[in-house]
Structure 1
Amino acid sequence: MKFDLHTHHFRCGHADGNIRDYIEAGIAAGLQVIGISDHTPFFGHEEEQPFPGIAMAKSELAHYVEEVLQLKKEYDGRIDVLLGIESDFFPEHGALYTETLSRYPFDYIIGSVHQTLGVSIFNKNRWKGLSPQEKVMHKEEYYALIRQSARHGLFQILGHIDAMKGNYPSFSDIMTEEALEETLKVIAECGVAIEINTSGKTKLSGGWYPSHAILERAFHYGVNVTFGSDSHVPSRVGDELMEVAAVLKEIGYTEWVYYKQKQKVSVPLP
């Protein structure tokens, strides 16, 4: 079973193409299922679109949902189009995000930590001048937020759980073993899935999120896994899907999951 649950399009302000382009790319890639999952608006800000290059405007959310649902009907029988969304996780705004997103019939919601301590996880400058102890603190804060997101109840999938390494490859060398182990235990206990996200190749770190080593630990704790290219151009839909499946099989996984109407669907690895 081939699917890709993590795709973006022009509304977020940093991706190319429209939703139809990604669906067509999914068909060309031999997918049976494609999930559309653009970034949520920043609901916690008063402005309509405080960060136009990061996420869609609040008024675009309803149009986004309507367009995906229309295309779902149009492509019925050719590919199963799922309505998803990638939501930031801000604990202070958790109730607001839950209430707002509950108005729409999402098949799944990806919860992603993109900011810690008020700074983007992809900001290379956040690491400058930090002591080793401060670097540990930053990394532990990141995983603490991921644990909170797993427990929150809004998300079926957690996005790119070591993406903080994206523009700071040395992130992987910061020793926070206990925080990582605890995070994987919590994810397993909460029954949410983690994605294998192949967009790391577009950052300085290269590779996938999470690393093979983290995937091995995830298997040990019984964490469910899913696949997302995190494509911001249609040509990346399904990117490295078969390579991911092969590595998962080597680790010991025999199946992965996707979500439809927020219900987990387990299918064999291709």
Structure 2
Amino acid sequence: MKFDLHTHHERCGHAVGTIRDYVEAGIRHGLQVIGISDHSPYFASPEDHAQPGITMPKSEFARYIDEVLKLKAEYAGRIDVLLGVESDFFPEHAEVYKAVYAQYPFDYIIGSVHLSGGVSIFNRKRWKGLSEAEQVEQKNIYYDLIEQSARSGMFQILGHIDAMRGFYPAFADIKTEAVDRTLKVIGEIGVAIEINTSGKTKDCGGWYPIHEVLERAFHFNVPVTFGSDAHVPDRVGDDWDEVAATLKGIGYKEWVYFKEKRPHRVAL
């Protein structure tokens, strides 16, 4: 069984294609399950569209849900279309987001940290001029947010847990115990992490997380799932077979997808 739980579409302002385009791409690429998980609006902002080009406006969210549910019904028997969302995680606004999500029948919610210390994790300038100690501090802040997101109870999946290395590959070489500490918490709680193949589209190349982090995730009994993080339909299911083989090589026997927020285990 092939599945992909992390896909976007044109509403977010930086992806190409309609939701239907991604569903059709899933069928072409041999998937039995496809999750639609566009970026959540900034629900804590007083503005309807706080960040054009990054996520959809709040006024589009209900229409997004409605469209996914209609496609779920239309494609039943051909491919299982799941309702998801990639949610930003802001500890200070967690209750606001929880209240919104409780109104809708999500199959799963991906929790992703995109802002750390008030700065985008993809900001190329954030590392400029930092000392070694300051770099460690920034990595610790990032993983503390990921740990808090795991503890929040809001998410079934944690998104791209080392994506801060996207435009700063040396991020992987910053030594800190925060990564193991965070993985231990994730494993104890039982939230899944995704193997996200969109790292290949960034300066760092490869997948999120890197192989060494996946090995540590296995050590801490962290469940895993798959997400292409496709922003163009052709990337749906990208590197599926390679990811499955890598996980088997590490020692994983299964991975999971989520339906009605319950894990469905799939043998590797």
Matches within 5 A, 1:1-270: 1-176=1-176, 178-269=177-268
Q: Over residues 77-101 of structure 1, what are the superposed CA-to-partner deviations in whole Å (9 max), with x where a residue is unaligned?
A: 0000000000000000000000111
SS at match of 1:208: coil
Matched residue type, 1:163: A
Distance of 1:71 and 1:191 partners within structure 2: 30
SS at match of 2:181: helix
Q: Over residues 7-45 of structure 1, what are the superposed CA-to-partner deviations in whole Å (9 max), with x where a residue is unaligned?
A: 000000000000000000000000000000000000111
Matched residue type, 2:208: Y
SS at match of 2:109: strand
SS at match of 2:213: helix
Q: How many residues align?
A: 268
Distance of 1:170 and 1:155 partners within structure 2: 28
Matched residue type, 2:140: E
Distance of 2:175 and 2:258 partners within structure 1: 34
Matched residue type, 2:31: L
Distance of 2:190 and 2:251 partners within structure 1: 19
Distance of 1:190 and 1:56 partners within structure 2: 30
Per the TM alignment, residue 211 of structure 1 is displaced from its structure 2 partner at its CA by: 0.5
SS at match of 1:257: strand
CA RMSD, aligned part only? Answer: 0.5
Matched residue type, 1:152: S
Distance of 2:214 and 2:133 partners within structure 1: 26
Distance of 1:44 and 1:121 partners within structure 2: 20
Q: Over residues 193-222 of structure 1, what are the superposed CA-to-partner deviations in whole Å (9 max), with x where a residue is unaligned?
A: 000000001110000000111111111111
Distance of 1:23 and 1:108 partners within structure 2: 17
SS at match of 2:106: coil
Per the TM alignment, residue 129 of structure 1 is displaced from its structure 2 partner at its CA by: 1.1
Per the TM alignment, residue 251 of structure 1 is displaced from its structure 2 partner at its CA by: 0.4
Per the TM alignment, residue 254 of structure 1 is displaced from its structure 2 partner at its CA by: 1.1
Q: Over residues 48-100 of structure 1, what are the superposed CA-to-partner deviations in whole Å (9 max), with x where a residue is unaligned?
A: 00111000000101000000000000000000000000000000000000011
Matched residue type, 2:135: K
Identity %: 69
Q: Over residues 162-188 of structure 1, what are the superposed CA-to-partner deviations in whole Å (9 max), with x where a residue is unaligned?
A: 000000001001111x11110000001
Q: Over residues 123-166 of structure 1, what are the superposed CA-to-partner deviations in whole Å (9 max), with x where a residue is unaligned?
A: 01001111111110000000000000000000000000000000
SS at match of 1:215: helix
TM-score (norm 2): 0.99
Q: Which runs of 5+ in 2 are unaligned?
A: none
Distance of 2:216 and 2:127 partners within structure 1: 27
Matched residue type, 2:79: I
SS at match of 2:48: coil
Matched residue type, 1:235: D
Distance of 1:220 and 1:38 partners within structure 2: 31
SS at match of 2:83: strand
Distance of 2:146 and 2:188 partners within structure 1: 13
Per the TM alignment, residue 230 of structure 1 is displaced from its structure 2 partner at its CA by: 0.1
Distance of 1:169 and 1:84 partners within structure 2: 29
Matched residue type, 2:182: T
TM-score (norm 1): 0.99
Distance of 2:48 and 2:157 partners within structure 1: 27
Matched residue type, 2:134: E
Matched residue type, 2:159: G
Distance of 1:221 and 1:209 partners within structure 2: 17
Q: Which runs of 5+ in 1 are unaligned?
A: none
